[in-house]
Structure 1
Amino acid sequence: MRRPAAEEPGHALNRRGLLLGAAALGGSALLSACGAEKAPLVGPPPVAPPTSPTPLTEAVTVQKMRSAARNRDVNLVIIAPDGVSRVGLPVCVALHGRGADARTFLNLDVQNALNQAVSAGLPAFAVAAVDGDNYWVDVGKADDPQRMLADELPGWLSQRQLRPPSAMFGISMGGFGALRYAREHKNLKAVAVASAALFVSWSDAKSRKVFADREQWESHEPLLHTGDLSASSTGVWCGSSDPFARADRKLIKAVQPAVGKMSEGEHNDDYWRGIMPEMMKFVAERLA
């Protein structure tokens, strides 16, 4: 079938396909960057291909895009509130955890949280998620997620009549990546991280078998560059039973963020669903 002229590279999934794909993700897709992360996790099952293209005016779309920076095709997931035109909306980029991909956010009640924010009178915005790996940094494998975020994603969003990224949130490994991105992009209005996978020592980071050496890890580790982060635009959430609780407490102490919340919870999607409304409210208030 020929693609509609309005549809740029990639295929958008229809609503039924999205729901089926989200259900297929299950509860285990986001068991990222915890103690078990020392062995790479299996990613979520693939979303079924669309039976036909759908207009990009849908509130939720999934497409395949070619990333030269990552040297592969990646998923581009865009989630907007119901009943709101996506045209001209500001964008918060969402970075997933290890072993997952961008489609994970279809299973974390992101749209419900966006709807709640709009219902509370806050301005609407869209969440855009893409696939990443290697803690969202270049570790010398001809795969540079940070370059994709900085150089390619803004163009993909512009093709869809969305604004350039002005906020970011990340979960687990995505928290590492979001904080790394924020160091180079001081104009971000909000940076929200949940259960950020940070490392208090080289031995801890080395066990993940991602970074080539200590020097490479030190150049990226957010805990070693907290002076580059803005306290007023940063929010940190972490469960008290999370394996990264110690590292996230250290982040909160060093940055003194606008929100630094340690509450009951573990490193799992139940915890992330529970705090999603708070995170989206935090972003919306700063985008306002």
Structure 2
Amino acid sequence: MPGERRVAAGGTLRGRAHTLTRRTLLTAGASVAAVAVVGGLAARDLSRPASTPTAGPDVPAGDERLIRIASGARGREVDFWTAVPAGYGGGRGLPVCLVLHGASATPRDFGRLGLARFLTDAVRRGTPPFVLAAATGNRLWRPAGDDDPRRMVREEMPAWCARRDFDSSRLAVCGWSTGGAGALLLAEAYPGWLRTAAALSPAVRPGDEVFADVRKLRDTPVGLWCGRQDNFLKDVRALARALPEPPARAEWTDGRHNFGYWNTVIPDAFALLGAALTPPRAN
């Protein structure tokens, strides 16, 4: 596209050739000086080396990319991460689950956390295929002065996904901890925009913004998961009771506020998301 310079092709983390990606890796002591065009997006490539240890099921990650892109809503460059299940190429025509990170991880960490592997595993177990997409937000996913991560997710991320030929008309959201609260806030801010909201151990408290606007979640199916040893359990269960409609899923199993627990419920969350994103909307 005019005005966009090229530095690396693809940016795939696993599976395919990494010749160009390896020449443009960012490490703790190095940076890239060039700019990439990835699916029509001008950005620097920040892909991790293929040797980076990853978690998740023992399946391929599929087409997983991490790039740097300018966000007008946040007034800065952000990391933009996408994952397509293995066997679905670049993900053309697939619906999208927007992923909101918590305070303990950002999109740069998603490769080692194995989210793309969980996605491939879910699809192989029968979940309808979809794409994961995430960008760096602030800690609470709330506007702070000129920094508006919520507007970035609402206005910019669907456009970035559309340039990758994903189906941005079919959207859901998923998040954990403060990202789980952010996912619910996003669904409340834009009623009817999202097909479902999945919140893993959302950091919520009675009286906060999520509870204050909980009525706006009517007609948006909500999935809630929280560990029995999590300090937020009492409040998440209170949120489940406060929802204007029964939650699509509400599960309380053993676990704390960490990825050891979240990894156990991601398969259930992905099954809910995949079902909600299929089929396409009727014309």
TM range (shorter): 0.7 to 0.9
Gaps of 5+ in 1: 27-57, 202-217
Whole-angstrom CA distance in 1 between matches of 2:137 and 2:204: 17
Which residue of the partner structure matches residue 20 of structure 2?
none
Letter in 1 for 2:87: G
Question: 1:198 aligned to 195, 201, 204, which one?
Answer: 204
In 2, are the aligned partners of 1:232 and 1:257 still within 8 Å (CA)?
no
Mapping 1:163-174, distance limit 5 Å: 163-164=167-168, 166-174=171-179
Which residue of the partner structure matches residue 217 of structure 2?
229
Mapping 1:106-121, distance limit 5 Å: 106-121=111-126
Percent of residue pairs identical:
32
- In the TM superposition, what is the alpha-carbon distance from 1:12 to its structure 2 partner? 3.7
| Alpha-carbon displacement from aligned partner over 1:82-138 (angstroms, at most 9, x marks no partner) | 111211111000000014312233233322322222223332101001101141111
Letter in 1 for 2:135: V
- In the TM superposition, what is the alpha-carbon distance from 1:2 to its structure 2 partner? 4.0
| Alpha-carbon displacement from aligned partner over 1:227-272 (angstroms, at most 9, x marks no partner) | 1113661100000111211110111111220101111100011111
Q: 1:19 to 1:153 in 2, by over 3 A?
A: farther
Query: Matched residue of 1:146: which SS?
Result: helix
Query: Matched residue of 1:143: which SS?
Result: coil
Whole-angstrom CA distance in 2 between matches of 1:2 and 1:231: 43
Mapping 1:1-288, distance limit 5 Å: 2-3=6-7, 7=39, 8-13=41-46, 17=49, 19-20=51-52, 59-85=63-89, 86-140=91-145, 142-164=146-168, 166-183=171-188, 184-201=190-207, 221-230=209-218, 233-255=221-243, 256-288=246-278
Whole-angstrom CA distance in 1 between matches of 2:112 and 2:230: 20
Letter in 2 for 1:275: V
Query: Matched residue of 2:82: which SS?
Result: strand
Whole-angstrom CA distance in 1 between matches of 2:51 and 2:155: 31
In 2, are the aligned partners of 1:109 and 1:276 still within 8 Å (CA)?
no
Query: Matched residue of 2:92: which SS?
Result: coil
- In the TM superposition, what is the alpha-carbon distance from 1:74 to its structure 2 partner? 0.6
Whole-angstrom CA distance in 1 between matches of 2:219 and 2:112: 30
CA RMSD of aligned residues (A): 2.2
Letter in 2 for 1:9: A
Q: 1:67 to 1:175 in 2, by over 3 A?
A: same
Which residue of the partner structure matches residue 214 of structure 1?
none
Q: How many residues align?
A: 234
More helix by share: 1
Whole-angstrom CA distance in 1 between matches of 2:49 and 2:73: 28
- TM-score (structure 1 length as normaliser): 0.75
More strand by share: 2
In 1, are the aligned partners of 2:225 and 2:252 still within 8 Å (CA)?
yes
In 2, are the aligned partners of 1:238 and 1:263 still within 8 Å (CA)?
yes
- In the TM superposition, what is the alpha-carbon distance from 1:193 to its structure 2 partner? 0.4
Query: Matched residue of 1:9: which SS?
Result: strand
Query: Matched residue of 1:189: which SS?
Result: coil
Letter in 2 for 1:276: I
Letter in 2 for 1:10: A
Whole-angstrom CA distance in 2 between matches of 1:68 and 1:6: 18
Whole-angstrom CA distance in 1 between matches of 2:114 and 2:267: 9
- TM-score (structure 2 length as normaliser): 0.76
